[in-house]
Amino acid sequence: MRITFLGTGTSTGVPEIGCKCEVCTSSDPRDSRLRTSALVEDGDTTLLIDCGPDFRVQMLRADVKKIDALLMTHKHYDHLVGIDDLRPYTRDKELPIYADRETEMQIRSFFPYCFGRVKYPGVANIRICPVDYKSSFRINETEITPLRVFHGMFPITAYRLGNLAYITDMSYIEPGELEKLKGVEVLVINALRFSKPHKTHQTVLEALPIIDYIKPKAAYITHMMHHIGLHAKIEKCLPSNVHLAYDGLVVEV
Ligand SMILES: [Zn+2]
Ligand SMILES: [Zn+2]
Ligand SMILES: [Zn+2]
């Protein structure tokens, strides 16, 4: 199995429009971050996690030939607004989108024309598959366990795919759900910035104890804003098994 980080930036992306800070003006490509999304390839199966406003560019950059399913983490704009651009991947087949109830409602309200009985010609051919965080499911050979985590007050979905786990936009995880991460080799986990707390996203300092509890071989931080600091500088301050992810990074699991 391998994961490709398609985007590792928070909802505004990095650089942030109009900002002249050292991160937004950095010449290191690892400091440029499209909105958060990832591609997981397991044998012949290609799974997309989230589909935000940079989806089209991300697919062109990574040269993705097919997508077998989309796993949605939650309903926010920066994670779902690219769904209309799924069209090239749905010409020959219907694409299943795994989503919890809240996310399903948001997808239906953003893209009602994909769900009518009489569809406008050429719209994305998509189908919603409800996700219940209490039950695992399979896509081809890949075993997927959804986890319920909290994004501020509201519950969203994280996923464990075999020995890989993917968590974005989290501020809190209940102890029972944390146990589902035990044995994970590669843990992708979000942090908005290094230490200043935020209401709906955790920081690097809040992510580190979770990583330390799970003890993956490697952990990768995603969904970062420009206040995270320069990639090269922050990377040096982290434990040896913890890294900042960056756009285009590929990790074998
Ligand atoms: Zn987000
Ligand atoms: Zn900036
Ligand atoms: Zn969000």
> pLDDT digit string (tens) for 136-178?
999 999 999 999 999 999 999 999 999 999 999 999 999 999 9
168 Cα–ligand 2 center, Å: 21
Return the pLDDT at 59: 98
> Can you give the pTM of this predicted structure?
0.97
User: Is the model's pLDDT at 119 over the cut of 90?
Assistant: no
Q: What is the span of the domain harbouring residue 50? A: 2-252
231 Cα–ligand 2 center, Å: 13
Q: For 116-131, what is the mean pLDDT? A: 92
204 Cα–ligand 3 center, Å: 17
pLDDT-based confidence at residue 81 (cuts at 50, 70, 90): very high
User: Any idea which ligand is nearest the CA of 192?
Assistant: 1
* Average per-residue pLDDT for the chain: 97
180 Cα–ligand 2 center, Å: 36
Residue-wise pLDDT tens digits, 169-227:
999 999 999 999 999 999 999 999 999 999 999 999 999 999 999 999 999 999 999 99
Return the pLDDT at 18: 98
167 Cα–ligand 2 center, Å: 24
Q: For 119-136, what is the mean pLDDT? A: 94
Residue-wise pLDDT tens digits, 10-40:
999 999 999 999 999 999 999 999 999 999 9
Total domain count for the chain?
1
The CATH number that applies at residue 210 is 3.60.15.10
* Whole-number percent of the chain with pLDDT over 70: 100
89 Cα–ligand 3 center, Å: 25
pLDDT-based confidence at residue 118 (cuts at 50, 70, 90): confident
66 Cα–ligand 3 center, Å: 26
- What residues does the ion ligand 2 have nearby, CB within 5 Å? 16, 19, 21, 24, 226
Rg of the chain over Cα atoms, rounded to whole angstroms, equals 17
Contact yes or no for 154/102 (Cβ under 8 A) = yes
149 Cα–ligand 2 center, Å: 28
Residue-wise pLDDT tens digits, 40-55:
999 999 999 999 999 9
Q: For 46-66, what is the mean pLDDT? A: 98
227 Cα–ligand 2 center, Å: 7
